[in-house]
């Protein structure tokens, strides 16, 4: 059994604090009945589903309080002195926009809005359409004309940056043919929610090196990326066995 650590308790407390701030902000918006479409795009997103968000936050808030209460009630018997096996910020509140609103103007407005309203968060995720094609690891300069400048601003405020990825390379992607010609992909084309593509063959060391070099080039170009959100790989697991070789 893994015992909760001091850092783990801090994470629970931070989640409670962040959840409380968001509930308060949502209720305030509902009372004021304001939609600031130009300067604060994220408000529209919050208002569009405020009922479910408040209920989910309240439930999440309640569960965290009960968990914290039970842990503290048993203190110091069940608290481990061990540190977390991963970065503490992985438990921090993450903010993001859906693909239809994900561009530099809107992402920056969301970031500024949370800070201006003093809603705490620790990480910002940029969703799947940030790149020139899925998993090219090159920022789309039309949607994000000055990505490095934007990300530098986020990092300056101690915000962790997360980018979306999967292991798919679509057949219409500019890096597909190179990967295919060098045997870096499994030999079956699959349909998924962003088109048709093939999965990277992680059993091939050269393929993994090529993949990692693309990420390294990305980091050299736009600065440190703290994590990647790897999306819904479970959907592909049932299809893996038929096309291994």
pLDDT digits (tens, 9 = 90+) for 39-93: 444 444 444 444 555 555 556 556 666 666 665 565 554 455 567 677 878 878 8
pLDDT for position 44:
45
pTM for this entry: 0.68
pLDDT for position 173:
95
- Answer for the pair 213, 197: CB distance below 8 angstroms, yes or no: no
- Answer for the pair 235, 192: CB distance below 8 angstroms, yes or no: yes
Over residues 186-194, mean pLDDT: 91
- What three-state secondary structure class fits 80? strand
pLDDT for position 37:
45
pLDDT digits (tens, 9 = 90+) for 115-152: 998 888 889 999 989 999 999 999 999 999 999 999 99
Residue 213 tokens read as: 């070099």
CA atoms within 13 A on the CB side of 88: 14
Per-residue pLDDT at 103 exceeds 70:
yes
Per-residue pLDDT at 38 exceeds 60:
no
Our CA dihedral for 230, 236, 237, 243, rounded to 10 degrees, sits at -120
Average pLDDT, the chain: 78
Q: What is the percent of the chain with per-residue pLDDT over 90, rounded to a whole number?
A: 48
- Answer for the pair 155, 161: CB distance below 8 angstroms, yes or no: yes
Q: Which residues contact 35 (CB under 8 A, 6 or more apart)?
A: 43, 44, 47
Q: In 160-204, which residue ranges form alpha helices assigned H by DSSP?
A: 176-181
Rounded Cα–Cα distance for residues 141 and 100 (Å): 16
Over residues 16-28, mean pLDDT: 58
- Answer for the pair 43, 97: CB distance below 8 angstroms, yes or no: no
Q: What is the percent of the chain with per-residue pLDDT over 70, rounded to a whole number?
A: 60
pLDDT for position 98:
87
């Amino acid at each position: 059994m893994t015992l909760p650590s001091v850092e783990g308790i801090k994470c629970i407390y931070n989640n409670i604090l962040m959840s409380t701030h968001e509930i308060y902000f949502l209720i305030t918006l509902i009372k004021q009945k304001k939609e600031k479409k130009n300067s604060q795009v994220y408000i529209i997103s919050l208002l569009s589903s405020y009922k479910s968000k408040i209920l989910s936050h309240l439930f999440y808030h309640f569960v965290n309080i009960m968990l914290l209460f039970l842990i503290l009630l048993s203190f110091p018997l069940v608290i481990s002195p061990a540190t977390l096996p991963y970065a503490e910020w992985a438990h921090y509140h993450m903010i993001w926009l859906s693909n239809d609103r994900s561009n530099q103007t809107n992402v920056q407005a969301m970031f500024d809005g949370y800070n201006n309203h003093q809603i705490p968060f620790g990480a910002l995720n940029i969703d799947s359409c940030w790149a020139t094609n899925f998993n090219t690891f090159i920022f789309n300069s039309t949607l994000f004309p000055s990505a490095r400048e934007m990300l530098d601003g986020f990092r300056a405020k101690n915000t962790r940056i997360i980018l979306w990825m999967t292991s798919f390379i679509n057949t219409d992607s500019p890096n597909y043919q190179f990967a295919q010609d060098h045997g870096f992909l499994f030999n079956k084309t699959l349909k998924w929610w962003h088109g048709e593509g093939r999965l990277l063959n992680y059993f091939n060391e050269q393929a993994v090196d090529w993949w990692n070099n693309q990420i390294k080039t990305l980091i050299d170009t736009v600065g440190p990326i703290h994590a990647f959100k790897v999306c819904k790989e479970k959907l592909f697991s049932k299809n893996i066995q038929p096309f291994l070789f």
